[in-house]
Amino acid sequence: MDDLFTAASADVHKNSKPLSERARPDSFDHFIGQAGVINDGPQLKDLITADHIPSLIFWGPPGTGKTSLAIIISKLTKAEFISRSAIDTGAKDL
């Protein structure tokens, strides 16, 4: 039988997301630290605005904004978004 604390704990865990997802930027206005990717030259931003995104692979060290950028692009375009992690995916899958 559940008690008050078990039920409250289950509700908190069911509705909460990891901090990395809650803190993730949701627009280019909040995307900080990779100005060279978005602001230096209009190529990528123009492609995103025109909804003409080619296949893209973002590569780099953890915490540099690869996933955040991909999610922002997926929200601004009609492009199909398939997320793959190098940890979970091999060259054969790519």
Band (14; pLDDT cuts 50, 70, 90): low
- Residue 94's pLDDT is 67
Percent of the residues in the chain that have a pLDDT greater than 90, as a whole number: 0
- Residue 21's pLDDT is 84
- Average the pLDDT over 49-66 and give the result: 86
- Residue 10's pLDDT is 63
Burial call 55-83: b when 16+ CB within 10 Å, e when fewer? eeeeeeeeeebbbbbbbbbeeebebeeee
What CA–CA distance (Å, rounded) separates 66 from 59? 7
Query: Is this model's pTM higher than 0.75 or not?
Result: no
For residue 28, what are the CA distances in angstroms to 6, 16, 40, 77, 86?
40, 24, 14, 13, 25
Beta-carbon contacts of residue 2 (< 8 Å; ≥ 6 apart): 10
- Residue 35's pLDDT is 73
